[in-house]
Structure 1
Amino acid sequence: MSFNTESYPGVADQAPAETDGFRFNHTMLRVKDPERSLAFYSHVLGMRVLRRLDFEEMEFSLYFLAKPDADESLPEDVQERTRWTFSERGILELTHNWGTEKDPDFEYHDGNSQPQGFGHICFSVPNLEKAVAWFDANDVNYVKRPEDGKMKHIAFIKDPDGYWIEIVQAERMAPS
């Protein structure tokens, strides 16, 4: 099956042959406290840590997370797992600059307050009501609940650093 892009001003008619094999791999968010962020992303959203990389000279660590399918097996060998991690799609990289967790006043800009920039990441869920009940049971902070505002088919929650996470149910995104 071939893919035909939607056409808008600025969109190339065809992807250049030189980009064959290019794949969007991950998005990076800086986090203040990796323990708190890893607890949120692994418990509340079910993500798993694929790989951790430490850079001692520069005093930061990278945590690569994804939501593999239950029957998916990941390489055990460290080098193979690293290669596999950087070949996949839909990975979240959490970057921790060492020491930020000890500074009570430290915080990152979420991109949604002024000046605006980065907006959000998004998770698709099989059932929006069940997801909202799960978030409520885990005291997740909301930007927007599904019943608020005009867009009744989406929610926005916040992670421990205040980054916005859109929550959608695919079936509700296409108007009938």
Structure 2
Amino acid sequence: MFRIKDAKVSLKFYTEILGMELVHKSDGGDFTNYFLAFPEEGKEHLSAEEKADRKFMREGILELCHNWGTESDPEFKGYANGNEEPGRGFGHIAVSVDDVQAECDRLEKLGVEFKKRPQDGKMKHIAFIYDPDRYWKKIRIVAKDGTRT
């Protein structure tokens, strides 16, 4: 689960930029949890009711938690992303794509900020981007047979 400052900004990033879909929203006392996942291949034919019945029976569900009011609080500095002090510990999540460079080109055109591009450093098959709350997302290549290239 990622804590997010502004639900509108984060949902736009994950749905419009990364291509995930909102599968469930749950309001708590003073927070909202959003559950997102990539569209399921081969399930496009399912009705809305069938999709709702299986919303948590998918791989790779991402939970975002928005504590109400943080988006408009000028004193709120954001959450620890796990890669910097304070709060070092969590690293990143990974998203697999067929072509890292093509995906990086697409993300760059959309104005996404990069931590590392494929040409930076020794690992040419990966890139890292930031989400709106500065959490890292690793973009990596995985071949059609599931092996890393």
TM-score band w.r.t. shorter chain: 0.7 to 0.9
Counterpart position of 1:105: 75
Question: What is the letter of the counterpart of residue 39 of structure 2?
Answer: P
Segments of 4+ moved more than 6 angstroms = none
Question: What is the letter of the counterpart of residue 71 of structure 2?
Answer: E
Deviation, 1:87, is 2.9
Alignment RMSD (CA, Å): 2.0
| CA separation of 1:130 and 1:99: change in aligned 2, threshold 3 A | same
- Whole-Å separation in 1 of the counterparts to 2:9 and 2:127: 22
Question: What is the letter of the counterpart of residue 84 of structure 2?
Answer: S
What is the TM-score normalised by the length of structure 1?
0.74
Aligned residues: 143
Counterpart position of 1:128: 100
Match for residue 38 of structure 2 among 67, 91, 95: 67
Match for residue 58 of structure 2 among 59, 83, 88: 88
Counterpart position of 1:146: 118
Whether 1:39 and 2:12 are equivalent positions in the alignment is yes
What is the TM-score normalised by the length of structure 2?
0.87
- Whole-Å separation in 1 of the counterparts to 2:148 and 2:62: 26
Structure 2 stretches of 5 or more lacking a match? none
Counterpart position of 1:167: 139
Of all paired residues, the percent bearing the same amino acid is 45
- Whole-Å separation in 1 of the counterparts to 2:124 and 2:49: 45
Question: What is the letter of the counterpart of residue 93 of structure 1?
Answer: E
SS at match of 2:108: helix
| Kept after mapping to 2: 8 A contact 1:75/1:84 | no
Counterpart position of 1:76: 48
Deviation, 1:67, is 0.6
- Structure ID, larger Rg: 1
Question: What is the letter of the counterpart of residue 153 of structure 1?
Answer: H
